[in-house]
Amino acid sequence: MKEIVVLGAGMVGRTIAWDLSRDHHVTAVDINTANLERIAARAVSRKTADIGDAASVRSLVSGADLVVSAVPGSLGFRVLGAVIEAGKDVVDISFFPEDALELDDAARRRGVTAVVDCGVAPGLSHMILGYHAARSEVLSFKCCVGGLPFERVFPFEYKAPFSPADIIEEYLRPARTVEGGRVVVKPALAEVEAIEHAELGRLEAFCTDGLRTLIKTMRVPNMVEKTIRYPGHAERIQTLKAAGFFDQDPVRVGNQSVRPIDFTSAVLFRSWQLKDEDDEFTLMLISMEALEAGRKTRVDYEIFDRRDRRTGFSSMSRTTAFPATAAARLILSGRFTARGVIPPEKLGAESDCFNFVIDELKRNGVRIDQTSRPAG
């Protein structure tokens, strides 16, 4: 039994702590005691601390065999750096704006394995591409992913599995795509397209910045990542954006100075907050074209999950947590030993590791369908 420290006990952090506590000793750390009290596994130790302080992080992880970082994106890069400085192997799911590969030299010097962006997308999506790119020439990669409630409530028809601030950041950050081998930067929410799904009906997908490390690590001529929502969502967000509701420069309201983005986040939290009783789902659709034995092949994946009523865990927490816990188990067992900052596509390139992650997701009830056929 290994000692694991989970930094962050939000929705995903709690699921990670629960899963890993089934065969390891886990300590969950969060500054919010309410988050710690909601951890389902009684065997998990709980510690209240400020994870935003690097010295505190180094002290908290000093006795750990492995660390999982599930902190907000605004803290992610700094926390990852502190864990690497402490010489601890780490699996990171925080969606921070900085380039994790900048910490590669530090991780190698410390002999650390740091698997980053290890959620559903980025994460599982990257593993899938990494697996196929190691075995064939991938010509194109498209990933559409999103989490949504089954009940559609006007006006946004959306519930946020993460904090509204992190979702808004996703809607504001320019989206990097690859077209004809060149990086093309597009506004977030660009290129809205309709998706027809047999079970869920009509959805929409728009560009977001989810390719991340794939831009540097994969020689695939055409790549794009899009976020899935119900139809009309992108237009409503664009309206708020155009009206200045996401501006970061303060405005005077009475005698106070307020940033519009802070006000908007607070207001949206009321309507976007995902409640424990909300029935919701996560859907990821991946399509690739690849040359296999000289023939062009179309490879499709569909990953679908919904809230687990037995455990209470939401689909987004499950599909984000289980790739991370699978990677943690691979490191702890000695089956994955590469040093440095490791993007998930590098882990997925190793067939034993990829198959282990897929098996872990299936063991936890996540539906994964994969088909291949000749491309027209």
80-138 pLDDT, tens digit each: 999 999 999 999 999 888 999 999 999 999 999 999 999 999 999 999 999 999 999 99
Range of the domain at 257: 124-306
pLDDT digits (tens, 9 = 90+) for 41-80: 778 999 999 998 899 999 999 999 999 999 988 899 999 9
261 pLDDT band (50/70/90 cuts)? very high
Q: Is residue 376 part of a domain?
A: no
Same domain, 24 and 111: yes
Same domain, 9 and 51: yes
CA dihedral for 57, 211, 199, 366, sign (positive or negative): negative
Same domain, 51 and 128: no
* Spatial separation of the C-alpha atoms in residues 258 and 126, rounded to whole Å: 39
Q: Is residue 221 part of a domain?
A: yes
Q: Is residue 370 part of a domain?
A: no
Q: Which neighbouring-strand residues pair with 69? A: 7, 92
Least confident of 64-78, 159-173, 302-316, 341-355: 159-173
Q: Is residue 183 part of a domain?
A: yes
Q: Is residue 74 part of a domain?
A: yes
Q: Which of residues 285, 306, 327 is at a domain's end?
A: 306
The per-residue pLDDT of the chain, averaged, comes to 94
Q: Is residue 222 part of a domain?
A: yes
What token pair was written down for 197?
């799904």
Q: Is residue 375 part of a domain?
A: no
Q: Which of residues 306, 327, 342 is at a domain's end?
A: 306
Same domain, 191 and 302: yes
Q: What is the mean pLDDT of residues 206-214?
A: 95
Same domain, 77 and 134: no
Same domain, 185 and 258: yes
Percent of the chain whose pLDDT exceeds 90:
87
Q: Which neighbouring-strand residues pair with 95? A: none
Number of domains comprising the chain: 2
Same domain, 34 and 103: yes
Q: Which of 105, 116, 72 is nearest to 213 (CA)?
A: 116
Q: Which of residues 287, 306, 325 is at a domain's end?
A: 306
Same domain, 35 and 66: yes
Same domain, 278 and 236: yes
Same domain, 108 and 128: no
CATH number at residue 287: 3.30.360.10
Same domain, 48 and 155: no
What token pair was written down for 175?
């989206």
* Spatial separation of the C-alpha atoms in residues 264 and 167, rounded to whole Å: 12
* Spatial separation of the C-alpha atoms in residues 55 and 317, rounded to whole Å: 29
Report, in angstroms and rounded to the nearest whole number, the Rg of the chain calculated over CA atoms.
20
Q: Is residue 237 part of a domain?
A: yes
CATH number at residue 77: 3.40.50.720
The model's pTM: 0.94
pLDDT at 42: 78
- Answer yes or no: are the C-beta atoms of 115 and 344 closer than 8 Å: yes
Same domain, 190 and 336: no
Q: Is the peptide bond before 323 cis (omega within 30 degrees of 0)?
A: no
